[in-house]
Amino acid sequence: MPRVKRGTKRSDRRKKILKRASGYFLTKSKLYQAAQEAVERGLKFAYTGRKQKKRQYRSLWIVRIGAAARLNGMSYSQFVHGLKVAGIELDRKVLSDIATNDEAGFAALAQQAKDALAKQAAA
């Protein structure tokens, strides 16, 4: 069989891993095998982190909406149900933005939700 010299393929692969590991502690940024393990572990955390980010933002939006709803004399669940009954289809991201930046606008939404709930209870 002919002799195989790895040439640039091997060094390029190693360089890529070591570049990703720059800034890691001690041998994790210097030695290939340790760097490779650390990079793989980091990529695994990054993957799960991208999923968790979505959950955490939704949770934050819900907390903000709940706090603004309480200021308007409603609970979060009453507010969201009232909006649904009123036929207002705004997602939590937009509602959160309104709650933090436009108090008067959120108060108007809360009033619409209250009115819709009162109509539903009367009917």
- Confidence category of residue 2, pLDDT binned at 50, 70, 90: confident
Q: Can you give the residue range of the structural domain that contains 117? A: 9-122
Q: What is the mean pLDDT of residues 99-107?
A: 97
Q: What is the CATH number of the domain that holds 34?
A: 1.10.1900.20
Residue 3 placed within a domain: no
The yes-or-no verdict on residue 7 having pLDDT over 90 is no
Residue 2 placed within a domain: no
Residue 4 placed within a domain: no
Residue 103 placed within a domain: yes
The model's pTM is: 0.81
User: How many domains are contained in the chain?
Assistant: 1
Helix (H, G, I), strand (E, B) or coil at 82: helix
Residue 1 placed within a domain: no
The yes-or-no verdict on residue 62 having pLDDT over 90 is yes
pLDDT, tens digit, 9 for 90 and up, residues 33-46: 999 999 999 999 99
Q: How many degrees, rounded to 5, is the angle at CA 78 between CA 72 and CA 82?
A: 95
The yes-or-no verdict on residue 3 having pLDDT over 90 is no
Question: Contact 17/3 with Cβ under 8 angstroms?
Answer: no
Residue 40 or residue 9, greater confidence: 40
Q: What is the mean pLDDT of residues 4-21?
A: 91
Residue 76 placed within a domain: yes
Residue 53 placed within a domain: yes
pLDDT, tens digit, 9 for 90 and up, residues 72-98: 999 999 999 999 999 999 999 999 999
- Within 8 A by CB and 6+ apart from 18, the residues are 29, 30, 32, 35
Alpha-carbon distance of 42 to 56, in angstroms, equals 20
Alpha-carbon distance of 17 to 21, in angstroms, equals 6
Residue 34 placed within a domain: yes
